[in-house]
Structure 1
Amino acid sequence: MRTLGNVIWIVFGGIFIAVEYVIASVGLMVTIIGIPFGLQSLKLAEMALLPFDKKAVQNHTTSGCLALVMNIIWFFIGGLPIVLTHLFFGLLFYITIIGIPFGNQHFKLMKLAFSPFGKVIVNR
């Protein structure tokens, strides 16, 4: 089921979301200050490409204070539009019964886009 979900996800727009995250990552990495934010955007691209096989979990080896500060900066720099976009598409997919799994993936991506610092992507 995960493989079928990922194939349908990629065909119906998942590849475009991942490409947008990669383009945003390259744009953020132009400056030295933007490199940490570009790396987080790559994390979102990895998750957006094949979301049915992946899960974001808290990384306990990172410092909580720095991750909190970076998440606050991230939210105001670019996280808010990403969160709102995933919220919109998640609600849009929830209109139909067949779209609920894809809406769930958008909500999973929304949670990661809200605070990507201090999290790692793992396979289930």
Structure 2
Amino acid sequence: MKAILNVIWLVFGGLWLALGYFLAGVVCCILIITIPWGIASFRIAGYALWPFGRTVVDKPKGPGVVATLGNVIWLLVAGIWIAIGHVLTAIAMAITIIGIPLAIANLKLIPVSLMPLGKMVVPTDRPFVSTYR
């Protein structure tokens, strides 16, 4: 079922969403000082490409002071606007019955789009994060 939902997601918005995050990551990496946000954007792009069967969790050591400061800057500059975009897209997707799981997946992207630093994407079939590095 996850594979079917991922393919439907890919066709109805996931590919464009992932390309947008990928492009933002490239721009952030070109600007050198924003490389941490670029890496986080690539991580979100991979998650946006194939969201079913995966989830976002905090890194085991937790975000440091620099990551927290970076998240606050990201939230003020881009995060809130991206989150609003996800909410509006989720509302549009939830109009049909088939779109409801896609809308839920879109809402799952909001926390990581608001605070991307200090997060990691893990499979949902492995509940223990301590095995990931």
1:58 aligns with 2:58: yes
Question: Any idea what SS the aligned residue of 1:39 has?
Answer: helix
Q: Deviation at 1:42?
A: 0.6
**Alpha carbons of structure 1 residues 32 and 7: separation in structure 2 relative to 1, 3 Å:** same
Question: Any idea what SS the aligned residue of 1:51 has?
Answer: coil
- Equivalent position of 2:102 in the other structure: 102
Q: Deviation at 1:77?
A: 2.2
* Residue range with higher mean Cα deviation, 60-69 or 113-122: 60-69
What residue identity is the alignment partner of 1:115? M
What is the distance in 1 between the residues matched to 2:98 and 2:16? 21
Question: Any idea what SS the aligned residue of 2:70 has?
Answer: helix
What is the distance in 1 between the residues matched to 2:19 and 2:88? 19
Question: Any idea what SS the aligned residue of 1:98 has?
Answer: coil
The structure where helix makes up a greater share of residues is 1
What is the distance in 1 between the residues matched to 2:56 and 2:4? 21
What is the distance in 1 between the residues matched to 2:74 and 2:13? 24
Question: Any idea what SS the aligned residue of 1:122 has?
Answer: strand
Question: Any idea what SS the aligned residue of 1:12 has?
Answer: helix
For this pair of structures, how many residues does the alignment match? 124
Structure 1: gaps (5+ residues): none
What is the distance in 2 between the residues matched to 1:28 and 1:68? 18
What residue identity is the alignment partner of 2:23? I
Structure 2: gaps (5+ residues): 125-133
- Equivalent position of 2:24 in the other structure: 24
Superposed CA deviations along residues 40-70 of structure 1, whole A, max 9, x for unmatched, are 1111101100000210011122443222211
TM-score, length basis structure 2: 0.87
- Equivalent position of 2:5 in the other structure: 5
Q: Deviation at 1:117?
A: 1.1
- Equivalent position of 1:80 in the other structure: 80
